[in-house]
Structure 1
């Protein structure tokens, strides 16, 4: 009986690896939750085939600062990352890059439908609570 040669880092081995749809969905939900500032349990993710690539469709709320604080201090919108539209556009690119990098899957696109708003209770840079 012969001993197999040791595997070198970066060496390709025969066989195949598969990542389950459930694992990809969990990864996508967490990536979207981080990008949108909400809980992963609030994100719904669905996959479709897009000419051999994966298309990710997300439905999620987005975090926003309290509207009263925005009225009193309009600069708070920029401090929160910009408008809902701008933040969603950036989130698409972030989610696509994160899911692709961590899973090794090739995504063709990420579609996001914002389903609501979650009032952010994050602390301000001065250390006080946002009201």
Structure 2
């Protein structure tokens, strides 16, 4: 019997798996960085207990286009996902889904506090 067959036929295996807080934090930072268009090193992620589930608190800047770019092309704001508020709300859902899917941990909520803005010059926001 192969290992895969044994796992399929066994309802539970002895032992447990744990993901360290540091690994979860790095994952949350990467997910938030992608959603907000900034470097993961600029993001602070903190965990708390929320009635047995994990609550994630993110403090991060958000990337924004240069004001001159927006004045020349007001549709640029919508192309990036909307206002800062709209992008932060969307980022909450994205971070929650990404962290849950990749870690298997169940999060109750994600709170995001925007701590600043990083202006991107020309081109597409990364």
Tell me if both proteins adopt one fold, taking TM over 0.5 as the criterion: yes
**Greater per-residue helix proportion:** 2
| Equivalent residue number for residue 100 of structure 1 | 100
Report the Cα offset of residue 71 of structure 1: 1.5
Q: CA RMSD in A?
A: 1.6
- TM (norm. structure 1) is 0.86
Query: What is the distance in 1 between the residues matched to 2:38 and 2:15?
Result: 38
Higher mean C-alpha deviation, range 15-24 or range 114-123: 114-123
Partner of 1:127: none
* TM-score in terms of structure 2 length: 0.90
- The structure, 1 or 2, with the larger RCO (C-alpha pairs under 8 Å, 6+ apart) is 2
Q: What corresponds to 2:4 in structure 1? A: 8
Deviation at residue 123 of structure 1 after TM alignment: 2.1
- Specify the SS of the correspondent of 2:45: strand
| Bigger Rg, which one | 1
Q: Deviations over 1:56-112 (max 9, x none)?
A: 000000000101111121111111111000001000000000000000000000000
What aligned pairs does 1:1-131 form with structure 2 within 5 A after superposition?
5-8=1-4, 11=8, 12-121=12-121, 123-124=123-124
Q: What number of residue pairs does the alignment pair up?
A: 121
Q: Which runs of 5+ in 2 are unaligned?
A: none
